[in-house]
Structure 1
């Protein structure tokens, strides 16, 4: 464990930062980034409503009853704020289409944004307050994740322990956002950190061998954050050393192997929010450059019947997620399993065509079992690549080598992720992603109004009109100026 860089407990430093940023404001670049992330989360949540697991989560929430405080996205009935946060977190993360921070490999927005929306609707907070609270929650989440990132190992210690860093760190970030929006201030945020440290959880085995439990993780994190804030408001308190203490967060999850300077250095001056990568494709982020390589083959005019062999070179650390066990990765049974398959990613790029090149319609159970796709997947090896290893985890690169039936060899190198800091998505591309996702649930009139409200989120008096529009009602009402 690295020596503590300050005498102040980390929870106090984070809470003071949160309170100051919430009161004084955040840079305009961060405000713009937050608006984009809210739009992204709303689109993802609307598209995810078609999943059986989403229906199950929403039905579970509606069956609980309670005081109506906040909307489940796309549902007219209001439910208690923690329950809304849970359902919306499940929706936001379920398509594996939500944003990713590198190198921590966190998906911060899917935990923080649902918690903030629920807490804000419950409390009547303004759009400006929502933007600031989300920015702070995202920053807290990323810094905690980076504290558990081992640069010498080149991987997150959370992941090495089988833990889902997103839901663990996201619970704390979600709690800080909710604390601010419920008017608890810096001291309340500090106590919420203490409570969420006891509520954080999530293991990542489903990435390897299946199951849909991972879809719950961001919902659980968001619910934990809002619940903790409500409990602090009712009088509960947490230990000031909840993070770095002998029996605290980092000891419990990481056995004390963490770097506190990732939490403290540049806090309040250097923001990580704008460096969270947007996802252009609805699949595990490790697969995205493989999709790009497949798209490049398609652009070259390579036909499936010309391909004799495919070798996908990737960083060794990602093989266990997208290439092992290779027999299962070559024959996914469901669209969900296909989202974690390197062989499927290559084939999706080669054959797909929705969204921004590959979209939601390219990840269905039917396509995962399609004989042509399976025959092509059987030709794909997933192997370690030294050049990719040198770049990882600041990008998730891939080198695809293709041998054609006539003996020709083609190499496609994709060394930086689309949607990241080297290849950012434009506003128009993000708008296209939102359109493709939200149009599966909303009519165009409501969709346009939702987008208009989100792009002026910091000008809204409260979130009621926006969240009502996500239900498909109120579409004839004018967008607020």
Structure 2
């Protein structure tokens, strides 16, 4: 635990100084470009998630809460209070498990930060540069708080070891810092962090055995962030030692074991934002290397009937998420459960699909129960692999060994994760991902307009233009998409 001495700035105060003191002009070009790409990515994911039953539930709940309308939410025809709009958009942004991931903190920063900042910015009449700056600040703080909980000896997130969802816990804090930086000074940021810490939450048991509650985690984080800033502006305050204090954030979540240097070292000079991994596949990130390895077998001419058995080697900490209980992972009942299944990732990669290798259409309830895929999954055993464990969590590697029916053994190693700095997704890749997502609910002209607006977001003087081409209806059940919503246009 880090003690605070008289005259020293607490961690929250230092984050407040950073957030308030960072101007748009201070942002490196790669940070600006990264933020714009992440806004496009999140909006495309939210567009694709709009028709989900859980999305409809989130919209209905938010609409029933009342309040003063001020911001847009996916699939809601009328404006909502900013906190409710942030909730809905955050739910949809995380619902498909397609949102970006930071390593080695193993959290998804954008799905909380971007919905919160966009809702607050729209409500306050801020412009594109304001939003980019606030999002960059929020993402950076989110990631650094997550890294403070990374155990270098165990090589794993301590949040994760405790069953805590760092994505929503740190996401709420980062989102609050971003919103506060958008609307006020360093003291507002410090107080907002102090208040948000009492709202941050999330446990991840649903990763193992099912349930859709995880889908609301980033929405709740974004809601908490906007609400906390609003409460501070009404006069509520938070403890300046909220992070390192005896009964503070890190004591509550991590029993006081954390690395304060991860929060402050190089703050404002060494940006983590560009290194956040984009997701090429709509599934838990732990499964991506398995998709790649199985796809490599497919490209080598190996099909399902050629394989007697598979052994999927993964980092030991990943096993409980994508390999246990094995019987459940071999027989997912829904597309959502398939997103957390190592055996299903092997089946999907071996058969091939849409998107950038596999896409949303490859993770349906019907395909989760498909006889061909079930037969492949029954052949897959998931085991800890020492080489993968040594690399984790800087990467999420996998080693797939196929024992063939002709007696041969073929092994594919995927030791670096696609979408990160070592295997980046280029503009065309991200554009293809956005197109595959947004085409489900948006007409071509709407997709083109949204993509261009995000590409030039720094020049946008009215953020409501992001939502001009979007309506409030759900995607059609079938047929050609019309100009359907994800985000409704809002006023100032």
Q: What's the TM-score once normalised by structure 1's chain length?
A: 0.96
Measure, in 2, the Cα distance between the counterparts of 1:292 and 1:234. Answer: 51
Measure, in 1, the Cα distance between the counterparts of 2:469 and 2:386. Answer: 49
1:159 match = 160
Measure, in 1, the Cα distance between the counterparts of 2:158 and 2:362. Answer: 33
Q: Secondary structure at the match of 1:417?
A: coil
Measure, in 1, the Cα distance between the counterparts of 2:190 and 2:353. Answer: 47
When the two chains are superposed, the root-mean-square deviation of aligned CA atoms in Å is 1.5
1:479 match = none
Question: Residues 75 and 447 (structure 1 numbering): CA distance in 2 closer, same or farther, change over 3 Å?
Answer: farther
Q: How does 1:342-353 map to 2 (within 5 A)?
A: 342-353=342-353
2:378 match = 378
Measure, in 2, the Cα distance between the counterparts of 1:192 and 1:309. Answer: 53
For each residue in 1:31-72, what CA deviation from the matched residue of structure 2 results, as whole angstroms up to 9, or x when unmatched? 000000000000000000121101110111122232210000
Structure 1 residue 24: deviation in Å?
4.8
Q: How does 1:400-439 map to 2 (within 5 A)?
A: 400-439=400-439
Measure, in 2, the Cα distance between the counterparts of 1:43 and 1:355. Answer: 13
- The answer to whether the 8 A contact 2:67-2:80 is kept is yes
For each residue in 1:104-131, what CA deviation from the matched residue of structure 2 results, as whole angstroms up to 9, or x when unmatched? 0010000000000100000000100000
Measure, in 2, the Cα distance between the counterparts of 1:354 and 1:24. Answer: 39
1:303 match = 303
Structure 1 residue 359: deviation in Å?
0.2
Does residue 447 (structure 1) correspond to residue 427 (structure 2)? The answer is no
Measure, in 1, the Cα distance between the counterparts of 2:362 and 2:460. Answer: 36
Q: Secondary structure at the match of 1:309?
A: strand
* Unmatched 5+ stretches in structure 2: 472-482, 487-492
1:290 match = 290
For each residue in 1:240-275, what CA deviation from the matched residue of structure 2 results, as whole angstroms up to 9, or x when unmatched? 001100011000111101010000100110000001
Measure, in 1, the Cα distance between the counterparts of 2:244 and 2:29. Answer: 32
Q: Secondary structure at the match of 1:241?
A: coil
Q: How does 1:267-346 map to 2 (within 5 A)?
A: 267-346=267-346
Structure 1 residue 301: deviation in Å?
1.4
Structure 1 residue 444: deviation in Å?
0.2
1:173 match = 174
* Unmatched 5+ stretches in structure 1: 476-481
Does residue 12 (structure 1) correspond to residue 13 (structure 2)? The answer is yes
For each residue in 1:220-257, what CA deviation from the matched residue of structure 2 results, as whole angstroms up to 9, or x when unmatched? 00000000111111111111001100011000111101
- The answer to whether the 8 A contact 1:88-1:219 is kept is yes
Structure 1 residue 474: deviation in Å?
11
Q: What's the TM-score once normalised by structure 2's chain length?
A: 0.94
Q: Secondary structure at the match of 2:135?
A: helix
Measure, in 2, the Cα distance between the counterparts of 1:3 and 1:122. Answer: 39
- The answer to whether the 8 A contact 1:388-1:396 is kept is yes
Question: Residues 307 and 315 (structure 1 numbering): CA distance in 2 closer, same or farther, change over 3 Å?
Answer: same
1:224 match = 224
Structure 1 residue 185: deviation in Å?
1.4
- The answer to whether the 8 A contact 1:192-1:238 is kept is yes
1:215 match = 215
Measure, in 1, the Cα distance between the counterparts of 2:256 and 2:468. Answer: 45
- How many residues matched? 474
- The answer to whether the 8 A contact 1:25-1:132 is kept is no
1:456 match = 456
Q: How does 1:240-259 map to 2 (within 5 A)?
A: 240-259=240-259
Q: Secondary structure at the match of 1:277?
A: coil
1:260 match = 260
Measure, in 2, the Cα distance between the counterparts of 1:460 and 1:73. Answer: 20
- The answer to whether the 8 A contact 1:134-1:177 is kept is yes
- The answer to whether the 8 A contact 1:147-1:262 is kept is yes
- The answer to whether the 8 A contact 2:47-2:485 is kept is no
Measure, in 1, the Cα distance between the counterparts of 2:3 and 2:158. Answer: 18
For each residue in 1:316-370, what CA deviation from the matched residue of structure 2 results, as whole angstroms up to 9, or x when unmatched? 1100000000000000000000000000001000113110010000000000001
For each residue in 1:399-419, what CA deviation from the matched residue of structure 2 results, as whole angstroms up to 9, or x when unmatched? 100011111111111000000
1:187 match = 187
Measure, in 1, the Cα distance between the counterparts of 2:367 and 2:306. Answer: 21
Measure, in 1, the Cα distance between the counterparts of 2:78 and 2:44. Answer: 19
Question: Residues 389 and 85 (structure 1 numbering): CA distance in 2 closer, same or farther, change over 3 Å?
Answer: same
